[in-house]
Amino acid sequence: MSPDDYRTYYQRAVAHQEVSQFQKAMNEFSEAIKRSANATNVLAQLYYQRGQNYLRLGENDKAEADFRRVPEYAPGDAMGHNNLAWFYVTGPTNFRSPEKALSLALKSVELGKTNYTEYASFDFETAPDFFTGYFLGDYFGLATAGNDFLAVFGQTHGADPASIFFRRAGP
């Protein structure tokens, strides 16, 4: 591979990430993004990976910005929407937004129904690692949506051992 090829930087970034060298990984992912201008099919993955490293470094604004770019580059990818929804449910407290998470989770489920290579649920098994320690039965939050309240919590459902649920209560 050429040193100018984005794959060289991607592979180095993954190696740094595997040994918890998150700053070095983030730098390599940034370089891979710069060099992948003609490979838009991989940009979603690169932004997601870099976002994970920003999150691990506590650079939450940059992590959110990268996570938001994933559905832009891969609008038909259920997991991109799912992962961003998880960020808004379980990410840093000041970024939590059940309203944003709900629309993304519903889009993920909708996309998952037509693309069987993706998951068609918003559940704990597909959650990215956001280091929050949520467990089944945890109450995640309460928000308002117009005149309604929106509660977010985890519970079992049928054969699915660990799902996130949104309940709307209104007048």
Region 76-89: mean pLDDT is: 85
Q: What 8-state DSSP symbol labels residue 123?
A: B
Separation of alpha carbons 6 and 25, rounded Å? 13
Whether 140 is in a domain gets the answer no
CA distances from 57 to 37, 53, 76, 169 (A): 26, 6, 29, 37
- Total number of domains in the chain: 1
Separation of alpha carbons 79 and 98, rounded Å? 18
Whether 61 is in a domain gets the answer yes
CATH code: domain of residue 68: 1.25.40.10
Region 19-38: mean pLDDT is: 91
Angle, helices 40-56 vs 60-73, to 10°: value is 160
pLDDT at 61 (0 to 100): 95
User: Which of 9-23, 95-109, 113-127, 137-151 shows the lowest per-residue confidence on average (mean pLDDT)?
Assistant: 113-127
User: The tokens of 28 are what?
Assistant: 């390599």
Residues 152/165, Cβ–Cβ less than 8 Å? yes
Whether 168 is in a domain gets the answer no
Whether 32 is in a domain gets the answer yes
Range of the domain at 20: 1-75
Region 8-16: mean pLDDT is: 92
Whether 2 is in a domain gets the answer yes
pLDDT in tens, 94-136: 988 888 888 888 888 777 665 444 443 444 444 544 444 444 4
Whether 92 is in a domain gets the answer no
pLDDT at 12 over 70: yes
pLDDT in tens, 36-66: 876 777 899 999 999 999 999 999 999 999 9
Separation of alpha carbons 102 and 115, rounded Å? 20
Whether 25 is in a domain gets the answer yes
Q: E-strand spans in the chain?
A: 139-145, 148-157, 160-169
Whether 52 is in a domain gets the answer yes
pLDDT band with cut points at 50, 70 and 90 for residue 92:
confident
